[in-house]
Amino acid sequence: MESIISLLLAHIQVLNNQIYYLLIFIAKNIPLKSKDNSLFSPKYSKLTIDKVPVIKTIEKKDYKQLLKTYQKKHGKPLKPVTSRGGKHPVPENVICPVCGAPHEYLYDNNGGRGQILCKVCNANFNKSKDFDFTSISCPYCGHALVQKKERKIFNVHKCVNDNCTFYQNSLKKLSPEDLEEYKQYPHRFKLRYLYREFVINFFKMDLLSLPKNAVNLTFRKFTPHIMGLVLTYRINLGLSNRVTARALKEIHGIDISFTQVNNYTNTVAAIVKPFVDLFDYKPTTYLAGDETYGKIKGIRHYTWFVMDAIKKSILGYRVSFTRDTGSCILALRMAFAKFKEFPGKALRFIADGYSSYPLAAQQFKLNNMNFDVTQVIGLTNDDLVSTEFRWVKQIIERLNRTFKFAYKPTNGYGSEEGANAHLVLFVAYYNFLRPHPYTYWKPLNNVPELEYLPNMPAKWQMLIKLSQQLILSNQTA
């Protein structure tokens, strides 16, 4: 027996020495991080968002004052434009949009094709187009950006300067193989600075719009308690309209149609939405955002969530048919409205690798709300950022699964209004009624009026009452 143990120990020592020499060989000859990482390939640069351009606003001037300043500086008046042949090429009705100089001081700058140059203020404009008093320049070289594409909600501007440092540095990062491919197929690469200018102002859109098809709460046949039962089965237990109507009939003996169930949900959603959106959540500076998908009449739509990663409350939500940046901005606006004072760079916003989040952050920066987006990419912790913030991503993924549990029994929504109404009621239930393990099986947000009510139908009735009181107080104010 002793000889077997000594033989095994000797074999273990031999294996240990082999492992030691293999580790030394790996450390000397095999780098831990490969330089040829496909994640940083130039082909994936289309997923990145460039920094904010330099936006300058051109102020209006008075050409008479500019002429006086010129005469005072040079000791002689500024002469009008002398045209060849005695006929002025600029029509008399054309004036400079910047300083108001008449046609005598305007040049035909491109041979009759419409471009005009003002001799007084040096402004370039086109006589057949409205003058834009804002100029967008590249932040790397200062050259004016050129509009290249026109999309539904934004225009794409590009820096076409070949000497731009951004373009030159992008060329240097290409391998010889990629450089040859770029010469043949330049559309496969993003090497120049790009900026997306949104033509819709998402910062002036109404966030408190109410759903349609709502009815008044005059109970002729049913009571408020029955409506509370409808909401409990429909939202808390995640049943569809038809199954809710069947449950009320088979369990409680209440003969109610699924259409009335739908009317109740639409009406209550319209009432509780202001309470859900205007409640003082006292959010922390750790927020998480994500989007999941569902179906409305068989067509895919997206549901956006922005939640407090520490307190777990849903702060922003949105339903959209497209996975675009506009919907992301509106969901973020709803969440940021919960802050009494925007935290700025102290805010930690964690999302996945989708490009809409940094693009939305760029638009917020243009509206004096500057914050950074931390993107957790992939399913494994391959970098320090993913390792540090993976727990935040897992929290909002858990929220998506909870929402899917409430959504799946509906077999898809029948209309956009129905999807919005169900989402509002889900957020109300999740934030104020649903028990959570994070808060020792109590609701996330403490509302004293709801705390000691005996059952869930009564809590739904009290939540509706509080919402009605808030609407009345806002109308009086």
Q: What is the pLDDT of residue 43?
A: 57
Distance CA 401, CA 393 (A): 13
Q: Decide if pLDDT at 176 tops 80.
A: yes
Q: Using an 8 Å Cβ cutoff, are 368 and 274 in contact?
A: no
End-to-end CA distance of the chain: 92
Query: Token pair of 342, please?
Result: 């925007």
For the segment 140-166, the average pLDDT, to the nearest whole number, is 87
Q: Using an 8 Å Cβ cutoff, are 324 and 360 in contact?
A: no
Q: Decide if pLDDT at 238 tops 50.
A: yes
For the segment 299-315, the average pLDDT, to the nearest whole number, is 93
Q: Using an 8 Å Cβ cutoff, are 145 and 50 in contact?
A: no
Q: Decide if pLDDT at 39 tops 50.
A: no
Please report, rounded to a whole number, the percentage of residues in the chain having pLDDT higher than 70: 90
Burial zone of 271 (CB within 10 Å; 0-12 exposed, 13-18 middle, 19+ buried): buried
- For residue 82, CA distances in Å to 79, 103, 124 come to 8, 11, 18
In degrees and rounded to multiples of 5, residue 355 shows phi and psi of: -75, -15
Q: Decide if pLDDT at 34 tops 50.
A: no
Q: Which of 410, 416, 431, 458 is nearest to 296 (CA)?
A: 416
Q: Decide if pLDDT at 322 tops 90.
A: no
Burial zone of 37 (CB within 10 Å; 0-12 exposed, 13-18 middle, 19+ buried): exposed
Residue 139: how many other CB atoms lie within 10 Å: 16
Q: What is the pLDDT of residue 47?
A: 62
Residue 296: how many other CB atoms lie within 10 Å: 17
Give the least confident one: 88-92, 434-438, 439-443.
Answer: 88-92
* Sign of the alpha-carbon torsion through 41, 45, 49, 51: positive
Split at pLDDT 50, 70, 90, the class of 395 is: very high
Q: Decide if pLDDT at 1 tops 80.
A: no
Residue 155: how many other CB atoms lie within 10 Å: 16
Q: Which of 364, 411, 93, 461 is nearest to 258 (CA)?
A: 411
Q: Which of 123, 161, 157, 162 is nearest to 143 (CA)?
A: 161
Query: Token pair of 66, please?
Result: 């500019």
Distance CA 149, CA 60 (A): 29
Split at pLDDT 50, 70, 90, the class of 8 is: confident
Task: Indicate the residue type of 398.
Answer: R
* Residue in the structure block whose two tokens are 């959010």: 283
Distance CA 75, CA 66 (A): 14
CA count, 13 A, side-chain hemisphere, 212: 3
- For residue 462, CA distances in Å to 227, 289, 453 come to 12, 30, 9
Q: What are the chain's domains?
A: 40-55+134-198 (no CATH), 59-126 (no CATH), 271-476 (3.30.420.10)
Beta-bridged to residue 413, according to DSSP, are 296
Beta-bridged to residue 117, according to DSSP, are 107, 124
Q: What is the pLDDT of residue 36?
A: 42
Split at pLDDT 50, 70, 90, the class of 277 is: very high
For the segment 305-325, the average pLDDT, to the nearest whole number, is 92
Helix (H, G, I), strand (E, B) or coil at 107: strand
Q: Using an 8 Å Cβ cutoff, are 463 and 275 in contact?
A: yes
